[in-house]
Amino acid sequence: MSAQEQIKAVVDSNDVVLFMKGTKMMPSCGFSSRVAGVLNFMGVEFQDVNVLADAEIRQGIKDFSDWPTIPQLYVKGEFVGGCDIVTEMTLSGELDALFEAKGVTFDKDAANKIREANG
């Protein structure tokens, strides 16, 4: 299976996927840590894919999304964005709205706490 096929299979078979450096429990860069931290704090179940474990996946995800940086968040097959976009969406409430629209379970109180702490 090619890297593109592997990526598509993971994106299609999981509601929320984070392609990141490291894992959700052991992120290997600050940007990946921030996005994984937001998802973990909000209680979102997500599949993590450590791009450092496979060079073909690391380049392949950039080609797949036509987005040059990692981390990359996907929700129900849709590319959402990287760290800056996810951060902005969290603070504006757009991420909550996306999760609600896509039927992804998350802790609304935790999302509100993130906004309160950064408001």
Run of H or E including 107: none
Domain count, the chain: 1
Domain that holds residue 58: 3-117
Q: What is each CA distance from 42 to 59, 66, 68, 96, 106, in whole angstroms?
A: 29, 27, 26, 10, 6
pLDDT at 2 over 90: yes
CA–CA separation, 61 and 57 (whole Å): 6
pTM here is 0.96
Q: Which pLDDT does position 119 carry in this prediction?
A: 78
User: Does 29 appear as a known binding residue?
Assistant: yes
Q: Which pLDDT does position 36 carry in this prediction?
A: 98
- pLDDT tens by residue, 33-62: 999 999 999 999 999 999 999 999 999 999
Q: What is the mean pLDDT of the chain?
A: 97
CATH number reported for the structural domain that contains residue 24 in this entry: 3.40.30.10
- pLDDT tens by residue, 77-116: 999 999 999 999 999 999 999 999 999 999 999 999 999 9
